[in-house]
Structure 1
Amino acid sequence: MRFTDTRVLVTGAGSGIGRATCLAFGKEGAALAAADVDLEAARASLDTLADTGAKAVAVQLDVTRPDSVTAAVDHAVAELGGLDILVNSAGVREIVAFLELDFAEWQRVIATNLSGTFLCSQTVARHMIAQGRGGKIVNLASVAGLVGVPNRAAYVSSKHAVVGLTKEMAMELAEHDIQVNAVAPGVVETGMTAGYFDDPNVVASLRRLHPAGRWAQPEEIANLILFLASAEAHFITGATYPIDGGFMAGKSF
């Protein structure tokens, strides 16, 4: 197993990509802290690991609050004995026309997707540096961090910023043997996107936009996250990897 004796914190672990990532790490032998603003959802994610024997703890975390981030990371470090990997999977999005988007909603999305990634990364990186054994940070960007997407001004802005933050963190943390990368999924079938699949016209459009003819499952995104968090990816840092069924190969909205 690739992650035996490795301590992992996953944010947004209560659903979707975060939950799939927790399960994937658990199956590979990692000790795991599953963090989510919804503690019961984080616990439910860990229930999926019951048969793996993985050491795991659920942690309540509001990534928009510095005090919550500090408390959650300290709890994870105390329970697991340290942290080697951080996956910033917590995220939200809006579907509102630019001219109708109110500032409170803008702030909510930016605070979660961008500020949350910053706060968690900074706090965990400090622990990694103190441990002196390097580490890996994997951020969740999106194809919406690489192109524009209508009616998602806050989400698109936050994900473009995550791509930039990933590069900046990689440059500063390299001297501490900490690699920082991002994954940029296309459409993934999760609770966040569930409404897409109720409209046959939307489904047909999504199939056209993805040369693969389908959208992703959370487990497929988790597979890439685990690779970037593994020893095999030690010389990769500052990169953002689309995982989108060919969407970025030439399709556009």
Structure 2
Amino acid sequence: MPVGHFPLKDRLIVVTGGGSGICLAFVRLAMQSGARGVLICDLRLTPEAESLIGEKVHFLRCDVANWRHLEYIPKKVEKCFGAGQVADIWIAGAAIFEPEWSSWLYDTEKEGGYHAMRVNAEHPMKFTRIAMRSCLSVNKPCVVLILSSIAGIYGGYATAMYCATKHAVTGFTKSMAQADIDESCKVVAILPGQVSTPLWTGPAGRKMAAQFSYREKNSISAEEVAEAMKEVIEDGEGRYPGGTLLGVSKARRREVFESLQGIVGDGSVAFKKWQDRVFEPVREVFRKERGARL
């Protein structure tokens, strides 16, 4: 059955990319909201993030492009919070712009794929699978939130690879709507517009900021995005079921681009039979995983 109301209070939370920016703002907000604990998974911590590390906030050095690192996250949760513990909320927040050393435009890294695709698209998908397997194994509901972008709805000639990665995860999120109904795993995505983060304001972002005419006055804060993340996770009114794409921007504070509640169809017996036939291979896999550790 659908996850429904899911307060941050007393939850265990995993956040990739939580060492800075939007996801660090969410870590702070989660702790202020009474979360039981947070595991930050990132390559490094900013000084601001380091100040949070303690009994309730832990750090795992994690390269999200490396699936072995991602697969280790559930074990790290147990090491930090106790044997048998499984995270309730999973935030796939790590993302990058297209680096020149692995670029479609500059025709680099012809072997092995594009790094931005591995970080921005493959990591959230693999992370979601790990989250579902973990929570199904102990028969508990969960929420997976993917930090996408407004670029996942629109295109950009100067940022074609980045837009492609974000289109991938918005499509994936929509496709996972049924998991909320079938498996009590709500997969949703936040699509921020321009946000004031070190991506633009830090030393490495100055060139890009100049190219795209970044202006602080046209941006929203990382804290505003974090508030929207909390809203879509907790959702006490049923406005954001699995599959929801929630836009957050300066011009439009909240905009639901899509909010699917699975495949509804016409309600006929014939449709139900078709749906069951199509979904059965997926449901069979999840049935085998449910309660596997109980």
Q: TM-score, normalised by structure 1?
A: 0.82
Residues 9 and 42 of structure 1, relative CA distance in 2, 3 Å threshold: farther
In structure 2, C-alpha distance between the alignment counterparts of 1:123 and 1:106, rounded to whole Å: 22
Q: CA deviation at 1:197?
A: 8.9
In structure 2, C-alpha distance between the alignment counterparts of 1:95 and 1:112, rounded to whole Å: 11
Describe how 1:1-253 pairs up with structure 2 within 5 A: 2-30=7-35, 31-38=37-44, 41=45, 44-48=48-52, 55-80=56-81, 81-94=85-98, 99-103=105-109, 107-194=114-201, 195=206, 199=210, 202-203=213-214, 214-232=218-236, 236-246=241-251
Check whether the contact 2:179–2:187 (CA below 8 A) recurs between aligned residues: no
Check whether the contact 2:152–2:167 (CA below 8 A) recurs between aligned residues: yes
Give the paired residue count: 236
Q: CA deviation at 1:193?
A: 1.6
For the aligned residues, what is the CA RMSD?
A: 2.9
Code of the aligned partner of 2:236: E
Code of the aligned partner of 2:153: L
In structure 1, C-alpha distance between the alignment counterparts of 2:212 and 2:64, rounded to whole Å: 35
Residues 201 and 36 of structure 1, relative CA distance in 2, 3 Å threshold: closer
Residues 137 and 42 of structure 1, relative CA distance in 2, 3 Å threshold: farther
Check whether the contact 1:34–1:46 (CA below 8 A) recurs between aligned residues: no
**Could you list the runs of 5+ residues in structure 2 that have no partner in the other structure?**
1-6, 255-294
In structure 2, C-alpha distance between the alignment counterparts of 1:88 and 1:198, rounded to whole Å: 24
Code of the aligned partner of 1:67: R
Check whether the contact 2:13–2:89 (CA below 8 A) recurs between aligned residues: yes
Match of 2:278 in 1: none
Q: CA deviation at 1:198?
A: 6.3
Q: Percent identity between the aligned chains?
A: 20
Check whether the contact 2:170–2:189 (CA below 8 A) recurs between aligned residues: yes
Residues 233 and 65 of structure 1, relative CA distance in 2, 3 Å threshold: farther
In structure 2, C-alpha distance between the alignment counterparts of 1:159 and 1:169, rounded to whole Å: 15
In structure 1, C-alpha distance between the alignment counterparts of 2:210 and 2:178, rounded to whole Å: 43
Q: CA deviation at 1:98?
A: 5.9
* Higher CA-based Rg: 2
Map Cα deviations across residues 6-54 of structure 1 (whole Å, 9 max, x no partner).
110010011111111111101111111111022xx0785152477xxx7
